[in-house]
Amino acid sequence: MIYDVLGVAGVLMVLCAYFLLVAERIRETSPAYLGANILGSSLILVSLAHHFNLAATVMQAAWIAITLVGVLFRKRSNSKSR
């Protein structure tokens, strides 16, 4: 039961972040957007550890990796502007 709750919470975080992005309420480089993607995908991975699905696991791991690249780009961009 707890794994389902964590997984659904993760899905809601990722979907809300994406909705805010397409609604132009948040920027793709904002800490809130990046954090919601990492945390949401991590919660989904926790859920998948209990109810394993290879395709979904690969998708979430890729989502986290891509988001971490975004975090690195953001940090590099911020350090260049200083």
Kindly indicate the confidence band of residue 76, based on its pLDDT and cuts at 50, 70 and 90: confident
How distant is the alpha carbon of residue 50 from its chain centre? 19
What does pLDDT average to over the chain?
94
Q: Looking at residue 24, what is its pLDDT?
A: 96
Q: What is the pLDDT of residues 33-73, one digit of tens each?
A: 999 999 999 999 999 999 999 999 999 999 999 999 999 98
What pLDDT, on a 0 to 100 scale, did the predictor assign at position 75?
87
Dihedral sign (CA 45, 55, 73, 15): negative
CA distances from residue 2 to 7, 45, 47, 50, 67 in whole angstroms, order as listed? 9, 13, 8, 10, 25
Domains of the chain by residue range: 2-80
Query: pTM of the entire structure?
Result: 0.87
